[in-house]
Amino acid sequence: MGTKKRKILEIIVNAVFGLSLISFFAAFNFQDNLINGWYQQYLPSGINNNINDLVFTDSLTGYISTANDSYGVNYLLKTTNGGDNWFSVLRDTAGRINNYFHFFNKDTAYLMRSDEIIKTTNQGMNWVHQCYLPGVTAYYAINLDTIFCISDISIIGGLWRTTNGGTSWNLLVNFGSCNPEKIYFFNKYNGYMAKCNELWKSTDCGANWFYLAGGNWLDIHFLDSLTGYKADGGIRKTTDGGNNWIQQQLPITFQPGMGALIPINYDTIWGVGGLINNNGLNAIIYKTTNGGVNWGYQQPLYNNTIYFYNTIAFKDRIKGWAYKGNMTGVHTKVGGNDTTIIQIIYNKNSIIPNDFILKQNYPNPFNSKSNIKYKISKSTDIKIKIFDIQGKEIETLIDKKQNRGDYQLIFDGTDLSSGIYIYSLYADGYRVDTKKMILLK
């Protein structure tokens, strides 16, 4: 055989071999979805609890805490391959595993269940009792020694602190019938709490607190002592330590809204909570690359299986996860896909959102009834509508012209099933704000 023919034959053989390798790896899912940059992941069969929280300690090792299922069982799940497979490291019937657990390193973490905090020192394989506080609803751990806990019991509740890992506790402040619902500390000095739908701040390790405008939050993160973001159905940014919060404009989709966020740096922030109606209802993931000047979104899936994501985690700028209330989520190893930036331009006849304030309902979560407050700055035709998580309109609470002032409505969900619902404020026909509320029976 001539030299030229041998070279041609080698090229053909190499090409066929290369195509065979591609087919082999594709068949075993060794490549990412190169179209969307995300692919779907699933929890173990038989576990369909609501997901409370999602944490990754590195690009492969992660944890999911769940709420009770119909049998009163909740789980702490673990993955060692980036979420492609999950297994249970804690099956608990003693108390509900809450969405508060913190890993200080790959081995050591605190986890809260009902009125108890438990601790692991071997990557979640074994857990030991750490401390007990009645009525505890949330905690925030600065380090292994310093932990802040909040309790909603009116007499002994309030804000508690330990500086020895839970051996002993001190009650720092009690607010009586209006004890805190959420707690967050940027460092041991600067902390934030939400109580009775109000925002409060401490600069002296929690000893004293002062009121800030801005209201409650669903998720909050600070990058330094001045710059922070909070998701409260929308997204707000502060550059002065929380004294002032600037509402940022999300892309207008079928159901915009943000319930959880994760900053990568001062420019790049990811968030979840919105829906798009694109051949069916699909969850979207928000992203900004300029500190919130513009927000875009990505649609990881087109199969109508995930209506919204309620948790998000990124371990670095390209490896991230977003999961829904139960069973499934998505993962990217390449930073997602190209983000669609939608620039919002209001004409002179449009409503300016800052003229209208829709507050987070209280209490939230609630059983049957909850208060919805809002504020309007001028005489306007006002509507407030309630939707289920699939976007179906449930009820119109009000539809009439109202004068400038503060207003309050009561939403009665007695005839509705437990779940997440959406409520939106419309002014002169424009949707100006949207928030989520949780009905638990």
Residues 74, 121 share a domain: yes
Describe the chain by its helix, strand, coil percentages, rounded to 5: 5, 45, 45
**Any domain includes 357:** yes
**Any domain includes 22:** no
Residues 417, 325 share a domain: no
Within 13 Å, how many C-alpha atoms sit on residue 307's CB side? 12
Question: Domain range spanning residue 254?
Answer: 39-341
Residues 214, 166 share a domain: yes
As for how many domains the chain has, the answer is 2
- Residue position matching structure tokens 């940014």: 237
Residues 311, 285 share a domain: yes
Residues 207, 115 share a domain: yes
E strands of 303-358, at which residues?
Answer: 311-314, 320-323, 328-332, 340-341, 356-358
CATH of residue 73's domain is 2.130.10.10
Residues 219, 84 share a domain: yes
Residues 166, 56 share a domain: yes
Residues 419, 378 share a domain: yes
**Any domain includes 327:** yes
User: Given its phi and psi angles, is residue 121 left (phi above 0), alpha (psi -120 to 50 degrees) or beta?
Assistant: alpha
The one-digit pLDDT tens for each residue of the chain (441 residues) are 555 544 444 444 344 333 333 333 333 333 333 346 899 999 888 887 778 889 999 999 999 988 776 667 888 899 999 999 999 998 887 666 666 678 888 899 888 877 788 889 999 889 888 877 777 888 888 888 998 988 877 777 889 898 988 888 888 988 887 888 889 999 989 999 998 888 999 999 999 999 998 888 999 999 999 999 999 989 999 999 999 999 898 887 878 889 999 999 999 999 999 988 877 788 999 999 999 988 999 988 887 778 889 999 999 889 999 998 667 899 999 888 877 654 333 333 333 345 688 889 999 889 889 999 998 888 888 999 998 876 678 899 999 999 989 999 999 999 998 888 888 888 877 677 778 888 887
Residues 386, 285 share a domain: no
CATH of residue 398's domain is 2.60.40.2550
Residues 297, 362 share a domain: no
- pTM for the model stands at 0.70
Residues 190, 91 share a domain: yes
Residues 329, 281 share a domain: yes
**Any domain includes 301:** yes
